Structure 1
Amino acid sequence: MLGVLLVLGATVLGARLAATSDDTVEYWSLKQDVRPGDPVVDGDLTPTRVRLSGGAAGNYVRTDEEFAAPLDQLVWAHDMASGSLVGKDALVARSTQSRSQLPLSVTDGAAPADLARGDLVDVWVGPGPGDEPTGKAVRVLESVRVLQTGGEAAAASGSLAQTVLVDVAREQMQQTVISTVAAGHVTLVRVS
């Protein structure tokens, strides 16, 4: 009887010690994939208990920490897959600047073949194929985010051009930018 009590006591004591020595911490992770610029919603987030070592722990958002702003004022900074831990650099404040959406007509071969929503691009305008090379190419917009590509629609219709929609701060939207992209050959160069 004494042996059974000792074994039972050791088991209970061991379980209690194991429970109190749990050094996992609860962090936010993603329930689904997110894209850059998507609004952050509560349904995207789920708590996950993990053990992070060293300095890595400070790179992720714990569930007991406050976000930099209310969720309705945040957007995702970059692509993240479902199940990923939410890094502190993954959430950015929704821009307080006035924004515009600028459609660009981009011919086949004048943009990366795998151009996707969320990519950052520089917009260059110059003479097109077959034009007289009288002027140099000029960068009219720098590091603008792609909101939508028309590659699939262009391919389906057999068009040699696609319409790419980019996000531009209103102060960048000058009449000269609009007239330049409308009159010249647009080339997109991915910068990120």
Structure 2
Amino acid sequence: MTNWRRPRGQGRAAPRLRLRPWRDPRLVLGVLLVLGATVLGARLAAAGDDRVEYWSVRADVVPGDTITQDDLRPARVRLTREAADDYVRTTEQFSAPLDDLVWAQPLTQGSLVAKTSLVPRSSAARGQLPLNVALGAAPADLARGDLVDVWVGPGPGDEPGPDAVRVLGAVRVLHSGNDVGAQSGSLAQTVLVDVDDSRLAPDVISTVSAGHVTLVRVGS
């Protein structure tokens, strides 16, 4: 009997090709290209953002109030070249310590802080005028910060006289007096308004002191 033998070398496993993808130069080049494009895109996006950070107000403010850091918050906006220098950037120094500055004009929540909005306390020529307002002669929900026109004329039960006249327009309410009037059960409330000194002529003060005052809200 003839013994059969398999051919020499037959039966051995063929050597396997061991791939090392991280050593493939094409793969490495592809990864580098992706990373480069990502970095370049981020830099181009940053360069294209020409917004600048300015100070804005966190809540409504009224003239005469001291400015505090809590009043301010940064806002990134894009302004025209003409308007850019009118507002306070977060990188700028204030003209004086905040404790020495007051608001010169009313600002609503989110408004940018103009340089003219901040004035030294010593230069704020403003007065606080108290008004005796009868029940029903002012909005029931009158609140601090509202803008009102002040009208004076004959009151209920008065002899017929001249028509009511507007003695002050668009003045800011500093204190409505609603809480005090409600607690005391009074039929009148003392409303405190902010008025520029130039508008506080003697005839204005005598008129609001002697006549029946009515407040008409014109803004808030």
TM-score, normalised on structure 1?
0.74
Q: Highest CA radius of gyration, 1 or 2? A: 2
Percent of paired sites with the same residue:
46
User: How far 1:31 moved relative to its partner?
Assistant: 7.8
User: What pairs up with 1:31-180 in 2 under 5 angstroms?
Assistant: 32-37=58-63, 38-49=65-76, 62-63=89-90, 72-73=100-101, 75=103, 77-80=106-109, 84=110, 86-87=111-112, 92-94=117-119, 96=123, 98-180=125-207
Counterpart for residue 31 of structure 2: 8
In 1, are the aligned partners of 2:60 and 2:145 still within 8 Å (CA)? no
Whole-Å Cα distance in 2 between the matches of residues 174 and 31 of structure 1? 32
Secondary structure, aligned partner of 1:135 = coil
Listed one character per residue, the Cα deviations across residues 138-177 of structure 1 (whole Å, up to 9, x for unaligned) are 2222332211111122123222211100122333333332
Secondary structure, aligned partner of 1:178 = helix
Cα distance 1:13–1:88, how it changes in 2: closer, same or farther (>3 A)?
same
Q: CA RMSD in A?
A: 3.3
User: How far 1:114 moved relative to its partner?
Assistant: 2.9
Whole-Å Cα distance in 1 between the matches of residues 124 and 55 of structure 2? 29
Q: How many residue pairs align between the two structures?
A: 184
In 2, are the aligned partners of 1:28 and 1:45 still within 8 Å (CA)? no
Cα distance 1:65–1:20, how it changes in 2: closer, same or farther (>3 A)?
farther
TM-score, normalised on structure 2?
0.66
Read off the aligned partner of 2:165 and give its amino acid letter: V
Q: Which has the higher contact order (CA 8 A, sep 6+)?
A: 1
